[in-house]
Each structure stands twice: as structure tokens, then as C-alpha cells.
Structure 1
Amino acid sequence: MSLAEPRLIRAGSDRAALSGATTRRRKPFRTRAYKVFRAVALIVVVAAFIAPLVWMFLASLKTNVDIYDASKTLVFSPTTANYETVLGRNNYLSFVFNSFWVAFASTVLSLIIGIPAAYSMSRFAMRRSALVVLMARIIPGVSLLVPWYYVFSNLSMVGGYSVLILSHMFVALPLIVYILMSYYDSMPLELEEAARVDGLTHIGAFLKVTLPLSVGGIATASILAFIFSWNNFMFALVLSGADTKTLPVAIFNFVAYASIDWGGLMAASVVVTIPIMVIALFTQKYIVSGLTAGATKG
């Protein structure tokens, strides 16, 4: 070995060490920049969603004069008169019951029909039926309001609970079938085959094996169907009666031809929003797990 070779080796090692140090310095900088960008983006997104809710809640504690006064956006004298009007004088508790009953009944009936329908379409490859379900999801509900009103009025059903429940099932049922089909597609057939080897029929294997394993998907579909029915305005506006008004329709009473009672409107909106926010808060893990099950299982 010549005397120049050790020098070359040391020079090469020094360059490698210098390059490694530069890379290490550059990597933490990129990591910090990414973390800062992610935090800023998260704050912007959360603020965009929360700001309208905060404004709605604050406006529900103001008078109409304070709502129009920009100087009292955050500093004002709160009042509960709007909630007293909503919960007391306008009998909103009955509207809450109407919304809950229609949403609960339409969701339960849709589950009773949709669970076996989704299982049959998934296990027996009923693609044409699945296409019909997909078309029902695509068709806008407003295009059916006039035929529905004509048919149900001739049957003397307009204004009752049954017509509201049936109209909400038109959207809830395809939603439940669409979610559960992908859920059942992701479940292995070997579990049901093993159950049939043990002596169970197709229905027995479904009831004792597949159905308990699909609780997450059923919870997801039922929660989304309930939320849709609770928030629905269009069907209830046309098909409900004076005694069957739901909360979204009752809120519309605060909008008059010449003026809008913004304080009462915001208080009523808070009453509508709080139950759904509570449900979504306590059931978010079921919604996320159910919606991602088809992509992570199988």
C-alpha cells in the first residue's frame, strides 16, 4: 500500500461523514416543516367546520338587534328568551318526538329489509339487483315528491307518520344495502362453510355466524340512516301535517315573508344539531370502522 492510499481513504470517509451530517440536518428540517404544515392545515380545517357552529350558538343567545350589530359579535349580554320561545311557546318537544319517531321507525324497518337483501346480493352475486340499488341511491328524491304526493294523497296518507317513514326508507334502505353489501363481500366464505359442515343451514349460518360478525357494518349503516332521516327537510315539508312536523320543518316557521327571527332560528338549529352531534361523538368509532371494513378485510 502506498502512502497516498491512506490519505484517499481518510478523505473519502471525511466526505461521507460530512454528507451524512448534512443529510441529518436536512431531514429534521423537512420533518419540522411537514409537522408545521400539517398542524396549520388541521387548524384551518377544524376552524372552517367549527366557526359556523360557534356563531350559531352565540347567535342563539342574542336578540335580533345584537345579531345585526357587528360590535357585539363576541361581547354581548346573553339571553335565554330564544330557547324559551323554541322549547316553550312553539311546542318543540313534540317536534323532537316526531323527528325521533320517524327516524327510528324508518331506520329499523330499513334494517329489517336491508340486512337480508344485502347478504343475498353479496353471497349469490345478484349484480342486477345491486345495480337497481345503486340507481335508487343516484335518483334525486325531489324528482319523486310529486308522484308520491299524488299517490299518497289519493290513499289519504299525507300528513301521517306512515308516509314520512316510507319516504325516508326510500333513501335509508339503499344506503343500508350499499354499505352492508361491501361489508359482506369482505367477509370470508370459509366461516359459513365451516358452520354448514357442523350442520347449520344457510340461514342458520347467517344468523349465528355472519350476522354477529357484521355488527360494525350494521351500526354504521343504521347511524347514517338515522342521521339522514333526522336532518331531512324536503320530504317532511311536503308530506307532513300539522301534528307530524319534524324539527327541520318546524325551524322553517321562523322564516316569514317580511322578516326572519334569527335568534329563534339559531336556537331551533341548536336544538336540532345537539342530538346528532352527541350521536356522532359516541359512535364515531363504529362509523369509521364500518366504512373502512371493505378496504381492510378479506
Structure 2
Amino acid sequence: MTDTLTRPASPAVPVRSSRRRKPRAYQIFRVVILTVVVLLFIAPLAWMLIASLKTNVDIYDASKTFLFTPTLENYDNVLSRNNYFEFIFNSFWVAFCATVLSMILGVPAAYAMSRFTMHRSALVVLMARIIPGVSLLVPWYFIFANLRLVGGYEVLILSHMFVSLPLIVYIMMSFFDSMPLELEEQAQVDGLTPIGAFRRITLPLSIAGLATSGILSFIFSWNNFMFALVLSGANTKTLPVAIFNFVSYASIDWGSLMAAAVVVTVPIMVIALFTQKYIVSGLTAGATKG
């Protein structure tokens, strides 16, 4: 009896099962797929950057795809000769004003719709997001032309707010829905008014949502082409519209066109790179409720 109890246990022989091979194969497959997807997204950006450093002759020469003499003439043509700093200011000013005004109107509206369960009003706001913008250009142009506003900053800011405002409302609604109502009730017990609780408790806790909605609204306004093409003037032309200065009936200045595209793309990429954590946290805030 004692011999059977004190007998040392035999070392377990590791059994290699097929279950350990699946995660390894899955990881390899995942790395390959992610690499392919990243390359597909990076390839156009890389070609745009490389082409912006070439002359038009080198762009059309297949033998100089990677081996060529870089030049900054295209950037000098874009920034100095064509005065693209003015277009950069126009894009920044329109995007900034549209974002700030949409935040001022959209955040309180989203809070009211969230706390008072105004689902029908939310659907009306969503309709503005669903309607194609191109269907509104002719009525907008007719109305603003009669008001003599076409070509000014005001009409561009209002047209961008038409899409930015519903975007901010829906992002902030999901964020406010995920916040516990008990925090505001406790603040009101301590003597704050409902507006005071919203200003001192709710807003500081919703920084991630505010950052997300503001960044996405700014990116939309910066990249918008259709509204600015119809409603802007010679002095209020934005960057996406100004790029078409290098496209003519007979030829296309590809080098300057790619340099202008880099000028448009780089600021947005830098903003997205440094604010990606706020965007991810804000977009996923409404996924966990309760």
C-alpha cells in the first residue's frame, strides 16, 4: 500500500496536438493579410510622395520609377508661385469655424436627446446625414445667390455644418448614453442645477467624445471638395478645389499636382496620428453601456 503511494510519478510526456499549430498558422495568416492591406493603403501615398519629387519627364519615364534625381521645384511652384498659403488658410478657417459652431450647437443637442430619449428628433437629425449632399447644391446655390452670399466664408461654413452637426450629435449621443445618470443626480443633490451638473460633471468626463467628434468634423471640412467647388469664390477657394489649378484641357502638371496633394494630406495625417487614441476611445465609448 505504501509502495503505491510513495512511488514517484512518471514524467508526463508532452503530447503535440494539432491545436497548437492552429494559432501559429492563424498568426502567420493574420500577419500576411495585414501586410497586404497596409501595402495597398501605403502604395498610393508612397507614389504620390515620390512623384512630387520628380519632374514631369521623370514621372512618365518608367525606368526612373525609383532611381531619379529629387527636386523641390514642384513644392516651390505650389507654395510660392501659386500662393497656396492663402488656400491653406481658407481651408483651416472654414474647417475651424464649422467645427466650433457645430460643437456649440451639437453637444447640448446630443445631451438633451440622450437624457430625454428624443429618438424621433434623433432620426430627423440622421436624415441630414443620409441625404446626398449633391442633391442640395442646386437649392443652396439658388438661395445663397439670392442672398448674395455665394463666394463668402459664411456659405462654406454653413454648408459644412450641415454634415458636421449630425456627425457630432450622433457621436456625443452614444457617449452620453454610456455615462451613468447617477453622477448628475448626485451633483444635483449637492446643490448644482441641471445645467451646472452638465457643465461641471458631464462635460469634463466626455473629453474623449468631444475630441473625437471635433477631430472628425475638422477632417471632413478640410477634405470637402464638392461644396467648396460650387459655393466658394476666387478669394475663398479651399485646398481641394485649388488642386485643380494644375489640371487643364490639354495637359496635367503631375509633379505640381502631387505636391499639392501632399500639402493637403500631410496635415490630416499628422492630426490623425497624434489623436488616434482619442478617436478610438470616443468611437468605442458607446459600445459599453450600463
Aligned residue number for residue 192 of structure 2: 200
Alignment of 1:1-298 (within 5 A): 21-23=15-17, 26-298=18-290
- Normalised TM-score (structure 2): 0.95
- Which residue of the partner structure matches residue 3 of structure 1? none
State how far apart, in whole Å, the 1-side matches of 2:279 and 2:247 are.
Answer: 34
TM-superposed CA distance for 1:51, in Å, is: 0.7
Which range is displaced more, 193-202 or 227-236?
A: 193-202
Name the structure where helix makes up a greater proportion of residues: 1
User: 1:101-130 deviations in whole A, cap 9, x for unaligned?
Assistant: 000000000000000000000001111110
The alignment partner of 1:77 has SS state of: coil
Stretches of structure 1 lacking an aligned partner (at least 5 in a row): 1-5, 7-12
Q: Which of the two has higher C-alpha Rg?
A: 1
The percent of aligned pairs where both chains have the same amino acid is 75
- For 1:187-209, what per-residue CA distance to the aligned partner results, in whole angstroms no more than 9, with x for missing partners? 11000110111111111110111
- Taking only aligned residues, the RMSD between alpha carbons, in angstroms, comes to 1.7
Q: Which runs of 4+ in 1 moved over 6 A?
A: none
Q: By how many angstroms is 1:78 displaced? A: 0.9
Query: How much has 1:42 moved relative to structure 2?
Result: 1.2
Instruction: Describe the SS at the equivalent of 1:27.
Output: coil
Aligned-partner Cα distance in 2 for 1:144–1:84: 37
- Mapped to 1, the partners of 2:27 and 2:174 lie a distance apart of 35
User: 1:34: Cα distance to partner?
Assistant: 1.4
2:107/2:172 contact within 8 Å kept: yes
Distance (whole Å) between structure 2 residues aligned to residue 246 and residue 297 of structure 1: 40
Residue identity in the other structure for 2:16: T
Cα deviation for residue 41 of structure 1 reads 1.0
| Partner Cα distance (1:127, 1:272) in 2 | 38
Once the 2 structures are TM-superposed, how far is the Cα of residue 297 of structure 1 from its aligned partner? 4.4
The number of residue pairs the alignment matches comes to: 284
Which letter maps to 2:112?
S
SS of residue paired to 1:32: helix
